[in-house]
């Protein structure tokens, strides 16, 4: 930090403050974690200075021999960790990984006489009319994904997102009574819509998914199954999700982030069956900018960590702790979407406290509890204000929290929410954003959490 301070002291100060804040608050954001010093240090090296578009042994720049070593090792660790035939470790983020997967599905599956020419690199033979037809065929495909309010991600076909614009899209939800995935309903929708791509995976669904069933549905309608395991990749790597709950053997393409439960650097990855490998390989430069070699190096380090028995024990504790947190809420009378959890996520419906998700999120932050507001199924408050709070156990599990600490976390959250009232607008009407936190609550909660 001294080196940084000698150039721009305000950045050094912000960095110091970020560390202090992360240490003094309760980090319950389900997509965050604390990467190890080895992972963090690997990102701050000279690899950051190197351009390496292309793939291992096939670069558009000279002098990439060390990047080749790094990328090969990261991919090799990833293949072994997840039992995947092929791993592409270049994506800069989870969204980038999904875009590469979409690209590879279109490139591989859209039948067109022009594609052959493209793949043979005879692009100069294509006329304007050829390109127009190609654009039309690429832009005329269908995708079926989980809706945002049921727990899916923006890139799973949410209309305003690029995925909802590049594909004709439809969405499946969860059962309105139980909040659980209804495979028969997904199958019925798939039969009717006949998508090219069926997307499974989630950002805010607190349950496990049976990927064998999803593959059956995809096969029945001739779709490609793409699973986005960004959230639960750590639970797959740590062998908590095995058999039909492990997407990798069932999906044609599995995408992920590397920084959530997997506890690596910020980044993304695509795992693929052989048939898609060469199309995924063209992700850079067809979809992505030059790879972040320093981050690929850190991915290799993180995957090496994830292959240890220690990591498996950590992954199991993530799931056990989520159960403890859920029980902590249920015994205190709070409402959970689906009534509990069997992964790393707990989705708390805060409407019984008379609050919106936005009000709850802000009040909790005042008390040093960092969460994010989240829609609940059929949310009456929409995606901005919401009615839920999403909580995840990976980060505090890294800090060593166990059953008792997570029970206390539930107690503190219920304390804050029971002592928060919805505020009013400037004109005196009901507000979905402003709130009034009871006297002394923030101090009481901050003090208790500092002791943990
Ligand atoms: N996919 C899922 C399921 C996610 O939950 C997220 C992020 O929250 C992403 C993709 C996007 O990841 P990133 O922010 O790295 O682009």
pLDDT reading at 113 higher than 60 = no
pLDDT tens string 421-441: 999 998 999 999 999 999 999
CA distances from 320 to 133, 211, 293, 344, 346 (A): 53, 22, 35, 8, 12
- What is the 331 CA–ligand 1 centroid distance (Å)? 32
Is 266 in the active site? yes
> Which pLDDT score is estimated for 406?
98
For the segment 133-155, the average pLDDT, to the nearest whole number, is: 92
pTM given for the model: 0.96
Provide, rounded to the nearest whole percent, the portion of the chain with pLDDT above 90. Answer: 89
User: For residue 29, with 0-12 CB atoms within 10 Å meaning exposed, 13-18 middle and 19 or more buried, which class applies?
Assistant: middle
Q: Is 344 in the pocket of ligand 1 (CB under 6 A)?
A: no
> Which pLDDT score is estimated for 115?
67
Q: Is 229 in the pocket of ligand 1 (CB under 6 A)?
A: no
pLDDT mean across residues, the chain? 95
> Which pLDDT score is estimated for 135?
84
pLDDT reading at 112 higher than 70 = no
Provide, rounded to the nearest whole percent, the portion of the chain with pLDDT above 70. Answer: 97
pLDDT reading at 247 higher than 90 = yes
Residues in a beta bridge with 268: 257
Q: What confidence category does residue 128 fall into, taking pLDDT thresholds of 50, 70 and 90?
A: confident
Q: Is 201 in the pocket of ligand 1 (CB under 6 A)?
A: yes
Q: What is the ipTM of this complex?
A: 0.99
> Which pLDDT score is estimated for 121?
58
pLDDT reading at 118 higher than 70 = no
User: What is the rounded distance in angstroms from the CA atom of residue 45 to the CA atom of residue 49?
Assistant: 8
Q: Is 95 in the pocket of ligand 1 (CB under 6 A)?
A: yes
For the segment 82-107, the average pLDDT, to the nearest whole number, is: 97
- For residue 98, the ligand 1 atom closest to its alpha carbon is 10
Is 447 in the active site? no
Is 299 in the active site? no
Nearest to 341 by CA among 188, 204, 158, 145: 204
**Is 294 within any annotated ligand binding site?**
no
Residues shown for the chain: 452
Residue with tokens 């919805």: 422
Q: Is 230 in the pocket of ligand 1 (CB under 6 A)?
A: yes
pLDDT reading at 111 higher than 80 = no
Is 420 in the active site? no
**Contact partners, residue 422, CB within 8 Å, separation at least 6:** 354, 355, 356, 359, 430, 431, 432, 434, 435
**Is 168 within any annotated ligand binding site?**
no
Is 331 in the active site? no
**Is 347 within any annotated ligand binding site?**
no
pLDDT tens string 328-385: 999 999 999 999 999 999 999 999 999 999 999 999 999 999 999 999 988 999 989 9
């Amino acid at each position: 930090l001294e080196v940084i301070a000698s150039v721009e002291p305000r950045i050094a100060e912000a960095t110091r403050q970020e560390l202090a804040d992360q240490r003094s608050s309760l980090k319950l954001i389900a997509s965050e974690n604390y990467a190890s010093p080895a992972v963090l240090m690997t990102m701050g090296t000279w690899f950051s200075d190197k351009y390496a578009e292309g793939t291992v042994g096939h670069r558009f720049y000279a002098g990439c021999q060390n990047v080749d070593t790094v990328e090969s090792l990261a991919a090799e660790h990833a293949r072994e960790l997840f039992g995947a035939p092929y791993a592409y470790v270049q994506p800069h983020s989870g969204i980038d990984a999904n875009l590469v997967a979409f690209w590879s599905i279109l490139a591989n599956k859209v039948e067109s006489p022009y594609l052959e020419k493209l793949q043979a690199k005879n692009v100069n033979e294509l006329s304007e009319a050829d390109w127009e037809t190609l654009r039309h065929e690429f832009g005329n495909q269908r995708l079926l994904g989980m809706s945002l309010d049921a727990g899916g991600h923006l890139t799973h076909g949410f209309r305003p997102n690029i995925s909802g614009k590049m594909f004709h899209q439809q969405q499946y939800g969860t059962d309105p009574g139980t909040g659980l995935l209804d495979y028969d309903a997904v199958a019925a929708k798939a039969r009717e819509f006949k998508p090219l791509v069926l997307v499974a995976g989630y950002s805010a669904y607190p349950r496990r998914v049976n990927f064998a069933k999803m593959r059956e549905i995809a096969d029945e309608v001739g779709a490609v199954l793409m699973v986005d395991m960004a959230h639960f990749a750590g639970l797959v790597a740590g062998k908590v999700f095995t058999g039909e709950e492990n997407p990798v053997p069932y999906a044609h393409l599995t995408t992920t982030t590397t920084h959530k439960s997997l506890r690596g650097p910020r980044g993304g990855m695509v795992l693929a069956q052989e048939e898609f490998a060469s199309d995924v390989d063209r992700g850079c430069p067809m979809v992505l900018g030059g790879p972040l070699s320093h981050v690929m190096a850190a991915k290799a380090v993180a995957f090496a960590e994830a292959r240890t028995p220690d990591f498996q024990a950590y992954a199991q504790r993530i799931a056990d702790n989520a159960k403890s947190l859920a029980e902590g809420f249920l015994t205190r009378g709070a409402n959970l979407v689906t009534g509990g959890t069997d992964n790393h996520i707990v989705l708390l419906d805060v409407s019984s406290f008379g609050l919106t998700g936005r009000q709850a999120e802000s009040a909790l932050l005042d008390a040093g509890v960092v969460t994010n507001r989240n829609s609940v199924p059929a949310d009456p408050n929409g995606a901005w204000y919401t009615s839920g709070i999403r909580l995840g156990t990976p980060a505090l599990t890294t800090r060593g929290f166990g059953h008792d600490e997570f029970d206390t976390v539930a107690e503190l959250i219920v304390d804050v929410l029971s002592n928060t009232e919805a505020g009013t607008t400037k004109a005196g009407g009901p507000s979905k954003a402003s709130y009034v936190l009871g006297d002394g609550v923030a101090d009481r909660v901050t003090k208790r959490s500092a002791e943990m």
